[in-house]
Chains A and B, each alone.
Chain A
Amino acid sequence: MKLSLQNVVKRFGTHTVIDRVTLELDGVHCLALIGPSGGGKSTLLRIIAGLEYPNSGSVAVNGKPIEYHDEALLRHRRSVGTVFQAFNLFPHLTALKNITLPLEKVHGRSKAEALDLAETTLRRFQLLDHSHKKPAELSGGQRQRVAIARAIAIKPQVVLLDEPTSALDPEMTAEVLELIEELKQEGRDLLLVTHEMGFARRLADRVALLANGTIAEIGPPEQIFGEPQSEITRSFLSRVLKY
């Protein structure tokens, strides 16, 4: 994936959440965003997902600049797969319907095509037995895996994951992380906001640490976790890796 951010600024009222972030990446398959809460990780992901307008600056994904107006944003959102921390699935629809609905209504697939694609995806993630269950009947881990399946089924150019395991217990976290690792091995491009340091270290080929709305440090995981250059990175890692 190619990702280019130029002087991106996002303010909520007087509070600057993203402060002139500039980033140029090429040939990266998995970018992990880490950093303290309130540092701007999720906001940055939401800007890249086309869910939030930056106040200034520009963003381009795979060489294509995101135009920040309603129609273009709709097209952009349809080209990426976004998975949030929780409540991704629609509770009134079965797992299968959750996947086929966007395929049919957003991507214009026929009923049969959508069904086929959804079942193939669910089978690959060992979720086919659960396809007729509603989200309330699934475990938290299963719900997140179905949400990821839904994001993948549309064949997105990049998958954006916003703390996909933060609401899960350790066992369920493991099943979701395994699935994300599989996606990486399949060669999908991922952008991941996470608090799972071990996972970021193992999976990412580039790690960026966001604090106070700026990128404090960016580099390969060996650098960030092995020889961090920035004082902010060192103090953040010493705090989160203490226990």
Chain B
Amino acid sequence: MIETWRDLILAPDGARGDTPPPTIAKVLNSALALVLLTGLVWVCLVSLHVDWSIVWDVRTALFSGWLVTLKLTAAALVFSTLGGFVLALGQRSFVLPVRYFSKVLVEIVRSTPLLVLIFLLWYGLGGALGISNDWRYIMGVFTISLFEAAYISEIFRAGIESVGKSQIESARAIGFTRPQIYRYVIIPQAFRQVLPPLVGQLVSLIKDSSLLSVIAIPELTQSAQQASSNNYDNLETYFALALGYLVLTIPISLWSRWLERRFKYET
């Protein structure tokens, strides 16, 4: 196991890296990374004379923002996955207008920065439709769902394409209809390919939702900005802001890692 100090800092087998390092080396090195990073943060905080009571004072505002983010992203999570699925199937449709509409939409959305898309949909589409302020949340969820759906559709498309041609051939020979081929052959097999990258995309969704603050949706980032502009102090609140997102994303990230490992062993 651990024979020299080298075993603690160098992975076995040099560059190949197919053998995991010993547990003690993993723990020590992770701890080292954490100590370095927190040390850096600490130095900054000390030199800036932070005052945590500021965060405490705005805790209710931050918490209500956090709840809004939670609701927004929960809704967007469902809609973006459904939308991504529809767009992925749309890109494979036999009906050419549907196929090309899906392709063009996905390309345009993927080539547009989210910030720009939010402005365009809120001021452009929202303005043209003359929608009222009550629609702010709905437009927010719609925009973020559309943006992530474009990426998710590509993940699904790759998953569908990963199912071998011979499988589809076999299903045709049996006499399955096209919807049955999707239902019983393609989707169950694509599912395991798609799960880890899909979960990764959902982590991005949560982080991306912070941009909705620019159209004054009182989600977590907006609440933090509001709070810090009230008392002219940014850092403490932003620190709390980062933690608010981490609480949401880290469990999902860990879950995605776990899924990746689980499905790797099965194949």
Chain A residues within 8 Å of B, Cβ to Cβ: 49, 51, 74-75, 77-78, 82, 84, 86-92, 101-102, 105-106, 150
Given A78-B175, A106-B175, does the pair A90, B180 have CB atoms closer than 8 Å?
Answer: no
Given A91-B189, A92-B188, A92-B189, does the pair A77, B170 have CB atoms closer than 8 Å?
Answer: no
Write the nearest CB–CB distance from A13 to chain B, whole angstroms: 18
Instruction: State whether the Cβ of B169 lies closer than 8 Å to any Cβ in chain A.
Output: yes
Assess the A102–B175 pair: CB atoms within 8 A: yes
Assess the B175–A74 pair: CB atoms within 8 A: yes
Assess the B167–A87 pair: CB atoms within 8 A: yes
Q: Identify whether the interface residues of A are mostly helix, strand, loop, or mixed.
A: loop
Write the nearest CB–CB distance from A149 to chain B, whole angstroms: 13
Write the nearest CB–CB distance from A33 to chain B, whole angstroms: 17
In the complex, per-residue mask of B72-90: 1 if CB is within 8 Å of any chain A CB, else 0: 0000000000000000000
Please name 16 pairs of A and B residues whose Cβ atoms are closer than 8 Å in the assembled complex, sorted by A: A49-B173, A51-B169, A74-B177, A75-B175, A77-B172, A78-B174, A82-B173, A82-B174, A84-B170, A86-B166, A87-B164, A87-B166, A90-B170, A105-B176, A106-B174, A106-B175
Given A51-B172, A74-B175, A77-B174, does the pair A105, B189 have CB atoms closer than 8 Å?
Answer: no
Assess the B173–A90 pair: CB atoms within 8 A: no
Contacts of B170 in A (CB 8 A): 84, 87-90
Write the nearest CB–CB distance from A164 to chain B, whole angstroms: 13
Contacts of A84 in B (CB 8 A): 166, 169-170, 173
* Highest count of chain B CB atoms <10 Å: which of A49, A89, A90, A101: A90
Instruction: State whether the Cβ of B184 lies closer than 8 Å to any Cβ in chain A.
Output: yes
Q: Identify whether the interface residues of B are mostly helix, strand, loop, or mixed.
A: helix
Assess the B184–A77 pair: CB atoms within 8 A: no
Assess the B166–A105 pair: CB atoms within 8 A: no
A102→B169 CA distance, assembly (Å): 14
Write the nearest CB–CB distance from B245 to chain A, whole angstroms: 36
In the complex, per-residue mask of B143-164: 1 if CB is within 8 Å of any chain A CB, else 0: 0000000000000000000001
Write the nearest CB–CB distance from B184 to chain A, whole angstroms: 6
Assess the B174–A102 pair: CB atoms within 8 A: yes
Residue of B nearest to A147 (CB): B170
Instruction: State whether the Cβ of B248 lies closer than 8 Å to any Cβ in chain A.
Output: no
How many of B's residues come within 8 Å of A, CB to CB?
17
Assess the B173–A105 pair: CB atoms within 8 A: no
Write the nearest CB–CB distance from B77 to chain A, whole angstroms: 25
A101→B171 CA distance, assembly (Å): 11
Contacts of A102 in B (CB 8 A): 174-176
The one of A77, A86, A101 in contact with B173, judged by C-beta atoms closer than 8 angstroms, is A77
Contacts of B188 in A (CB 8 A): 92
The one of B172, B175, B177, B185 in contact with A90, judged by C-beta atoms closer than 8 angstroms, is B185
Residue of A nearest to B177 (CB): A74
Assess the A90–B169 pair: CB atoms within 8 A: no
Write the nearest CB–CB distance from A155 to chain B, whole angstroms: 13
Assess the B189–A51 pair: CB atoms within 8 A: no
Contacts of A49 in B (CB 8 A): 173
Contacts of B180 in A (CB 8 A): 105-106
Write the nearest CB–CB distance from B174 to chain A, whole angstroms: 5
A77→B172 CA distance, assembly (Å): 8
A86→B170 CA distance, assembly (Å): 10
Write the nearest CB–CB distance from B206 to chain A, whole angstroms: 30
Q: A78-B175, A84-B170, A90-B189 are in contact. List 20 more A-B contacts (CB 8 A).
A: A74-B177, A77-B175, A82-B173, A82-B174, A87-B170, A88-B170, A89-B170, A91-B167, A91-B189, A92-B189, A101-B184, A102-B174, A102-B175, A102-B176, A105-B184, A106-B174, A106-B175, A106-B176, A106-B180, A150-B174
Write the nearest CB–CB distance from B14 to chain A, whole angstroms: 32
A78→B173 CA distance, assembly (Å): 8
Write the nearest CB–CB distance from B195 to chain A, whole angstroms: 13
* Highest count of chain A CB atoms <10 Å: which of B170, B171, B173: B173
A57→B246 CA distance, assembly (Å): 66
Contacts of A105 in B (CB 8 A): 176, 180, 184
Can you list the 3 inter-chain pairs with the closest CB atoms, starting with the nearest? A78-B175, A87-B166, A82-B173
Contacts of B174 in A (CB 8 A): 77-78, 82, 102, 106, 150
* Highest count of chain A CB atoms <10 Å: which of B164, B169, B175, B189: B175
Write the nearest CB–CB distance from B170 to chain A, whole angstroms: 5
Write the nearest CB–CB distance from A138 to chain B, whole angstroms: 16
A52→B171 CA distance, assembly (Å): 14
Write the nearest CB–CB distance from B83 to chain A, whole angstroms: 26
A231→B202 CA distance, assembly (Å): 66
Residue of A nearest to B266 (CB): A136
A91→B167 CA distance, assembly (Å): 9
Contacts of A86 in B (CB 8 A): 166
